[in-house]
Chain A
Amino acid sequence: MSLIEGRTGSWEIVIGLEVHAQVVSEAKLFSGASAAFGAEPNTHVSPVDAAFPGMLPVINRHCVEQAVRTGLGLEAQINMVSVFDRKNYFYADLPAGYQISQFTKPVVGEGKITLDMDDGSTREIGITRLHLEQDAGKSLHDQNPTMTYVDLNRAGVALMEIVSEPDLRTAEEAGAYLRKLRSILRYLGTCDGNMEEGSMRCDCNVSVRRPGDPFGTRCEIKNVNSVRFVMQAIEIEARRQVELIEDGGAVIQQTRLFDPNRGETRPMRSKEQAHDYRYFPDPDLLPLVLDPKMVEDLKRNLPELPDKKKARFIADYKLSPYDAGVLVDERITAEFFETVAKGRDPKIAANWVTGELFGTLNREGLGIEQSPVSAQALGELLDLMGDGTLSGKLAKDVFAAMVKTGKAPAEIVEEQGLRQVTDTGAIESSIDAVMAANADKVAEYRSGKDKLFGFFVGQVMKATQGKANPGVVNDILRKKLAG
């Protein structure tokens, strides 16, 4: 447990996160307008989204299924009956004057997420609930000196609000929680987890207390949009609260905004007023009653999730927990690895994926889905090493050429004549030539300076432009040098 050291002693941070995850869907939660990001302002808007008179919500089945799948992925209670409520408040980007959400009866109840900490330990974080709700539109405050502009493209897009228990104790844990949650959502395909585009946003509830004391008063930092900022915001807010209390003040419950440029949190003006959301069941909708068969089907068709996959990689492929963890972080990486590893040495496959491939992708700033080398091609490369066609060194050169040209490894080997030489005759003549040219060194070797062996290997490889099979070179050289 890591504590904050204040002037008057240590403090523990208590963190609960509310993540708003945009559901991957074609259309919005209650209307037929597109949920796609990045359109011209106010084009992905139906009269339902703009809350025109007489317009009514009709729920999108797929969004319900996505929420249920997410609940199943979080090993959570699925509530067979849930209710949509109206959360009433006035705001520029909330056209109806209420948000359709789920208050007392969410579609998903308690679940959990297991965090893998850097020291190899695990921490279980409770999920309080997951509910479906509508996103709001977007207010643009910087377009005009006297007016705020409103774009309703996002109004009505389906969100899952995923609420954690106040189980997190450090900014690092909060970061690990978000990364793990994002990984699970991406595995499920229920949210793309793209925090930059706002498809995953986080509200952080932060309080501090003396270890062992009851929870302190919390502040909510709204709408933080990257894992890094979440961690920074928590640190900064916790320190602010500690200083405030140590200076004799008291934390007041409020909604705050994180300003990464200034490295501070500050109260939100628009949230100063005490809220009274007047939740009540939306009379335009009926209770959401799930079909047990639907839930069963969704459960059966759930993909293997990161925790299970990691355990399997460790057990079946004998990978280290670290490598397994890195490989399962993204579903697509894990699939890439398994394609490469199929029928091959899994450890070599893991080394190549986490080593050469990740190195290249990082350097080029690419995601694995944009990898210039396919899993198929990488597998072929490993095969060429396996059958002795390529040495490890040559394989790296071929890989580099694959990255550059996108060509198949066999083609590159053929074109560049990189095929490893295993013809003992050719190697023998190279060795003879090297020995002849270095008679003095041969004598030294024979008189006991066996460290020179490496020199001869190097010379032979140089003479064969690296193509000689190192094993064969070693064998023949050793015999010949022995005289």
Chain B
Amino acid sequence: MALDKATVARIATLARIKVPEADQERLAADLSTIVTWIEQLSEVDTTGVEPMTSVAEMTLFMREDKVTDGNRRDDILANATSPARGAFFTVPKVVE
């Protein structure tokens, strides 16, 4: 299926990637090629086939309820490129 500009704009917003209007056409064409190609899967009869949820045949390992991490604020904040204020990460002001 061909993706149009509007679809590209919509998924770019969902993915929070700015795509300038001028690039949308080209990107729509690019993505359409790929999407059309992956659509060959529709040839496969998958009636009654379980979708794979895990390639590893294992049971889920569970951790004990113990505090083993934390109290390392410097580690957590050290890479923040935003102006970290005191003990916080910061983002542009959000209005709820």
Contacts and interface: CB of A to CB of B under 8 A. Distances in A.
Touch between chains A and B, by CB atoms below 8 Å: yes
A75 to B, nearest CB: 25
Contacts of B49: none
A143 B85 CA distance: 10
Interface string B16-30: 100000000000000
A150 B16 CA distance: 19
B47 to A, nearest CB: 20
B67 A34 contact: yes
Contacts of A263: none
B62 A61 contact: yes
B67 A33 contact: yes
Interface residues of B, number: 37
A43 B70 contact: yes
Interface residues of A, number: 53
A288 B60 contact: yes
A148 B62 contact: no
Nearest to B68: A32
B60 A60 contact: no
Contacts of A287: 53-54, 60
A151 B89 CA distance: 7
A33 B28 CA distance: 43
B93 A61 contact: no
Interface string A151-173: 11000000000000000000000
Contacts of B16: 90
B1 to A, nearest CB: 17
A407 interface: no
Nearest to B74: A42
Contact of A40 (B67, B87, B95): B87
B66 to A, nearest CB: 6
Contacts of A40: 73, 87
Given A150-B90, A286-B56, A286-B58, A45 B85 contact: no
A48 B68 CA distance: 12
Given A32-B66, A146-B93, A257-B96, A42 B88 contact: yes
A59 B62 contact: yes
Interface stretch (A23-31, A311-319, A394-402): A23-31
B76 to A, nearest CB: 5
Interface string A282-310: 01011111000000000000000000000
Nearest to A140: B88
Nearest to B67: A34
A147 B62 contact: no
Given A276-B14, A278-B14, A46 B91 contact: no
A90 B92 CA distance: 14
Interface in B55-95: 56, 58-73, 75-77, 83, 85-95
22 contacts: A27-B63, A27-B68, A32-B68, A41-B88, A43-B73, A43-B87, A45-B73, A61-B64, A139-B96, A141-B94, A147-B85, A147-B91, A147-B93, A148-B91, A148-B92, A150-B88, A150-B89, A270-B95, A286-B58, A286-B59, A287-B53, A289-B60
Interface of A: 25-27, 31-34, 40-48, 50, 58-64, 83, 90, 92, 139-141, 143-152, 257, 268-270, 276, 278, 281, 283, 285-289
Interface of B: 14, 16, 53-54, 56, 58-73, 75-77, 83, 85-96
Given A32-B66, A33-B69, A59-B60, 9 more contacts: A27-B65, A34-B70, A42-B89, A43-B71, A58-B61, A60-B63, A140-B88, A152-B76, A286-B54
